Structure 1
């Protein structure tokens, strides 16, 4: 997925179809660079989704994000999520 419009459409669909969502972060690490202006975050997450009909789906992911501070604002400049082996994911 690339671009704000595609990401917005993905989130809109997710929130409409899965009104109940829960995420548990594990093994979160932060690496700080360039005098505190760049932060790389790595983590694992266990996610649970419950759809409008009460069906539950789970997913395990490995995640990374890169944040850059520019003009006093933190900007998410890169994000990567990879599914991990585990319970089936249906959303």
Structure 2
């Protein structure tokens, strides 16, 4: 039995690179525990279209529109104005 234990210890010393499958399993368990602790809820789909004209809009639609408007500058049009000014100042664009 002592020889078997020593043999197992030698095998463990040789495995200085851990098994990727084992690492993936541990990472997945860690992720699941974090989501469980945090109370993960998927974000609800936004509705910026709303109801037909003349019927008014729900508060939810109003808030979704406000959120969309606030995020516009952060996403698609990001940096466009400032870079255009920079190019103009460098003389790349005649204006």
Q: TM > 0.5 between the two?
A: no
Structure with more of its chain in strand, by fraction: 1
TM range (shorter): under 0.3
With the length of structure 2 as denominator, give the TM-score of the two structures: 0.20
Structure (1 or 2) with the larger CA radius of gyration: 2
Structure with more of its chain in helix, by fraction: 2
* More RCO (CA 8 Å, sep 6+): 1
